[in-house]
């Protein structure tokens, strides 16, 4: 066979951290202890009430397909959640249940982006975004951002960078890798500008419930025309269940439903039944205490890293990441993280997994491990840096 991998794949790299994690596993198999601060997945297992609801659904034989847009009762439950907890009115019919936020991203871009159109996004940012855009024949328009704008796009930047080919803007709040947020007045300005240009605004809120400085809220309140991406993975501790949701503007709901029918059929049934228990007081209490644990980890880790010489200018108000400037130690953060893994037994993620802009001077720390482990990780880094 004449091997001809599709051209799009030349632009879709693996996550660099995958090789690093494989090396970490190899070291562990040799008996080395590794402190894991690289993985964007909570260390907590799924809360017991959710797991129990999943078990109950399986026992009741709920193993057939659901409608493509999801269980009507889950869509209704999410609408109630938005109304009661986040103070935004969303009709249940605008909420489409998806296989993870990945599914929601694919739907939002699939119904909006035409080939050769551009989608603006921050660099650094979640790496899959630019690959989804590429998959649909569009072009990722990566705008360099840094600590001066909290690693976020601003209304000003978006206006400056907008081109006739720009069709959409993607925002993540809180963001991966930086954990920073966009505030309500900024998003209202962005929304107004994008609307005026006839464009589309896509807001990733998968970390929105992991908000440490203020009660969680949805930017949908200030950008009612936006697509909202969300997920049960991060806050609700359901990563492996593969369940998320998309809120689509009314005019796109029908297209989203058709695309979902064709590319997924439906999200996993047992996960949908489990998620019905996500908003019960018992679950919410567990999740609130986990949020406090994440906050305590952040409050320990950030100053500890700063003391070592990592530069972190903003205290990130959400998610579970610290995006640190490591230029005091290296101009090649990828080589640096590999060396840190080998010599200090600490796994962190290189900046190049999130884009190009000053990627070589940045690393991401994930506080997805217990505070004792973070302390040990910091001690090891201290030893490493003082002997380097």
CA distances from 123 to 129, 136, 147, 169, 332 (A): 11, 20, 12, 13, 17
Residues 331-370 interacting with its own copies (rule: CB under 8 A):
none
Q: State the minimum distance, in angstroms, from the CB of residue 180 to its own copies.
A: 23
DSSP string, 262-313: HHTS---HHHHHHHTTTTSHHHHHHHHHHHHHHHHHHHHHHHHHHHHT-B--
Give the separation between CA 332 and CA 327, rounded to whole angstroms: 8
Give the separation between CA 356 and CA 84, rounded to whole angstroms: 40
# residues near its own copies by CB under 8 A: 75
Which residue number, 56 or 299, has a Cβ lying nearer to its own copies?
56
Which residue number, 252 or 367, has a Cβ lying nearer to its own copies?
252
- Stretch of residues binding its own copies (CB under 8 A), selected from 28-36, 132-140, 179-187, 304-312: 132-140
- Stretch of residues binding its own copies (CB under 8 A), selected from 79-87, 89-97, 135-143, 212-220: 135-143
Q: State the minimum distance, in angstroms, from the CB of residue 317 to its own copies.
A: 25
Q: State the minimum distance, in angstroms, from the CB of residue 275 to its own copies.
A: 13
Write the binding mask 244 to 283 for its own copies: x where contact by CB under 8 A, - elsewhere.
-----x-xx--x-xxx-xxxxxxxxxxx------------
- Stretch of residues binding its own copies (CB under 8 A), selected from 126-134, 155-163, 333-341, 343-351: 126-134
Which residue number, 156 or 254, has a Cβ lying nearer to its own copies?
254
Q: State the minimum distance, in angstroms, from the CB of residue 146 to its own copies.
A: 25
Cα 76 to chain centroid distance, Å, stands at 24
Residues 151-170 interacting with its own copies (rule: CB under 8 A):
167
Q: Which residues contact 18 (CB under 8 A, 6 or more apart)?
A: none
Write the binding mask 104 to 123 for its own copies: x where contact by CB under 8 A, - elsewhere.
--x---xxxxxx--------
Which residue number, 286 or 326, has a Cβ lying nearer to its own copies?
286
Q: State the minimum distance, in angstroms, from the CB of residue 128 to its own copies.
A: 5
Which member of 23, 77, 131, 358 binds its own copies (CB under 8 A)? 131
CA-based nearest residue to 111, from 246, 266, 269, 272: 246
Which residue number, 268 or 351, has a Cβ lying nearer to its own copies?
268
CA max distance for the chain: 60
Residues 11-30 interacting with its own copies (rule: CB under 8 A):
12-15, 18
Mark 168-194 as b/e (b = at least 16 C-beta within 10 Å).
Answer: bbbbbbbbbbbbbbbeeebbbbbbebb
Q: State the minimum distance, in angstroms, from the CB of residue 50 to its own copies.
A: 9
User: How much of the chain is in helix, strand and coil states, percent to nearest 5?
Assistant: 45, 15, 40
Tokens of 356: 């190009």
- Stretch of residues binding its own copies (CB under 8 A), selected from 5-13, 310-318, 357-365, 369-377: 5-13
* Cβ atoms within 10 Å of 254's Cβ, excluding its own: 11
170 DSSP β-pair partners: 202
CA-based nearest residue to 353, from 366, 340, 344, 342: 366
Which residue number, 5 or 84, has a Cβ lying nearer to its own copies?
5
Which residue number, 272 or 333, has a Cβ lying nearer to its own copies?
272
Give the separation between CA 100 and CA 116, rounded to whole angstroms: 26
Establish if 86 lies at the interface with its own copies (CB under 8 A). no
Give the separation between CA 263 and CA 68, rounded to whole angstroms: 10
- Evaluate the CA torsion angle 299, 87, 174, 51 in order and state its sign: positive
Cis preceding-peptide flag for 174 (omega within 30 of 0): yes
- Stretch of residues binding its own copies (CB under 8 A), selected from 155-163, 214-222, 231-239, 283-291: 231-239
Write the binding mask 181 to 200 for its own copies: x where contact by CB under 8 A, - elsewhere.
--------------x--xxx
Which member of 81, 136, 162, 193 binds its own copies (CB under 8 A)? 136
Write the binding mask 39 to 68 for its own copies: x where contact by CB under 8 A, - elsewhere.
--x---xx----x--xx--xx-xxxxxx--
């Amino acid at each position: 066979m004449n091997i001809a991998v599709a051209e799009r794949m030349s632009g879709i790299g693996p996550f660099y951290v995958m090789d690093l994690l494989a090396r970490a596993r190899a070291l562990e198999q040799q008996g080395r202890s590794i402190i894991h601060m690289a993985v964007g997945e909570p260390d907590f297992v799924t809360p017991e009430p959710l797991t129990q609801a999943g078990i109950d659904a399986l026992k009741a034989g709920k193993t057939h397909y659901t409608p493509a847009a999801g269980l009507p009762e889950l869509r209704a439950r999410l609408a109630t959640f938005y109304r009661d907890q986040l103070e935004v009115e969303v009709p249940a019919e605008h909420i489409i249940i998806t296989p993870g936020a990945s599914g929601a991203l694919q739907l939002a871009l699939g119904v909006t982006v035409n080939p050769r159109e551009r989608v603006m996004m921050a660099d650094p940012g979640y790496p899959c975004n630019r690959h989804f855009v590429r998959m649909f024949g569009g072009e990722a328009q990566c705008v360099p951002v840094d600590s001066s704008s909290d690693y976020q796009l601003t209304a000003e930047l978006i206006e400056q960078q907008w081109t006739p080919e720009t069709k959409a803007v993607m925002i993540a709040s809180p963001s991966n890798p930086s954990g920073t947020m966009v505030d309500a007045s900024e998003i209202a300005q962005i929304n107004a500008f994008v609307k005026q240009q006839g464009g589309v605004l896509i807001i990733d809120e998968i970390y929105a419930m992991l908000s440490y400085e203020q009660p969680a809220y949805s930017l949908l309140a200030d950008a009612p025309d936006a697509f909202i991406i969300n997920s049960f993975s991060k806050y609700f501790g359901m990563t492996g269940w593969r369940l998320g949701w998309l809120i689509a503007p009314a005019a796109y709901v029908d297209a989203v439903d058709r695309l979902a029918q064709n590319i997924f059929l439906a999200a996993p049934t047992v996960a949908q039944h489990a998620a019905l228990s996500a908003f019960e007081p018992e679950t919410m209490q567990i999740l609130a205490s986990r949020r406090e644990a994440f906050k305590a980890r952040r409050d320990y880790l950030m100053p500890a890293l700063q003391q070592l010489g990592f530069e972190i200018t903003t205290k990130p108000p959400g998610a579970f990441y610290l995006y640190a400037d490591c230029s005091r130690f290296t101009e090649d953060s990828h080589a640096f993280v590999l060396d840190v893994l080998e010599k200090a037994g600490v796994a962190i993620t290189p900046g190049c997994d999130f884009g190009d802009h000053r990627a070589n001077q940045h690393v991401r720390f994930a506080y997805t491990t217990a505070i004792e482990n973070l302390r040990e990780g910091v001690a090891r880094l201290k030893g490493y840096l003082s002997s380097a």
